[in-house]
Chain A
């Protein structure tokens, strides 16, 4: 899968997150909209979310 396609996949998966959930990362907390912005920008938090999603998808193969 192309890099851009993977990022698109990550974005789609984040979009499934319910609005009442927040995520604690480092010394900040993020809701779905925050995370989507970071994924769009592909900044440090976006890259972290990308890594989390890839780790998750790999793990699902063995579950």
Chain B
């Protein structure tokens, strides 16, 4: 198998736009470490099931970083077209996948690993939730209210790209959540309780399944 990373970055609404913008950091790091030709960045309206399947079949990436809406057994792409579910999860054969999508670790991720298809699946077993500043939606990277939730979650992908094992990547992200929780728990800013509760929620629902 290659040492390639496939990322999906739809951006058809506020949520996916935020995820896509914040995933840019991961893309930059990946291109530095793996080389540009080994980073496959499927974004915007190109995040379709057909393109996703084709990218995997033609390139054999070992690492997947999926952004988008999700459900217990599926991950979505552009305009929420399902790009990955139980029917095509064979595509995850021998890969390590990090899905920054609601819920999909609970059934899809669990089954992909349990059935010996994926090497590992890191994701969220419930809704992945983040707060953001409604005054900053044109420039998500400048939004300090989502920053720590999305930075902690980015760390899974960054750690995997840097050669960490899935468990190490998961632990690194969990530690980042802890670090930011401590930062906000003592804050008097009016946004602090809201940011804190979603740091705690996402940390509690992040899981790593591994073969």
Q: Does B185 contact A (CB under 8 A)?
A: yes
Q: Which residue of A lies closest to B12 (CB)?
A: A27
Q: Are A26 and B193 also in contact (CB < 8 A) when A52-B201, A63-B181 are?
A: no
Other-chain contact of B204, A18, A21, A55 (Cβ < 8 Å): A55
- What interface size band does chain A fall in? 20 to 34
The chain B residues found within 8 Å of chain A, CB to CB, are 13-15, 18, 69, 76, 80, 102, 127, 129-135, 145, 181-182, 185, 190-191, 193-194, 196-198, 200-201, 204
A-B contacts besides A23-B132, A24-B18, A25-B127, 13 pairs, CB < 8 Å: A21-B132, A22-B132, A23-B130, A23-B198, A24-B131, A26-B69, A52-B198, A52-B201, A55-B200, A55-B201, A56-B200, A59-B200, A59-B204
Contacts of B145 in A (CB 8 A): 21
Q: Does A31 contact B (CB under 8 A)?
A: yes
Q: Please state if B134 and A22 are interface contacts (CB–CB under 8 Å).
A: yes
CA distance A27 to B101 in the complex (A): 10
Contacts of A18 in B (CB 8 A): 190-191, 194
CA distance A59 to B181 in the complex (A): 10
Contacts of A56 in B (CB 8 A): 196-197, 200-201
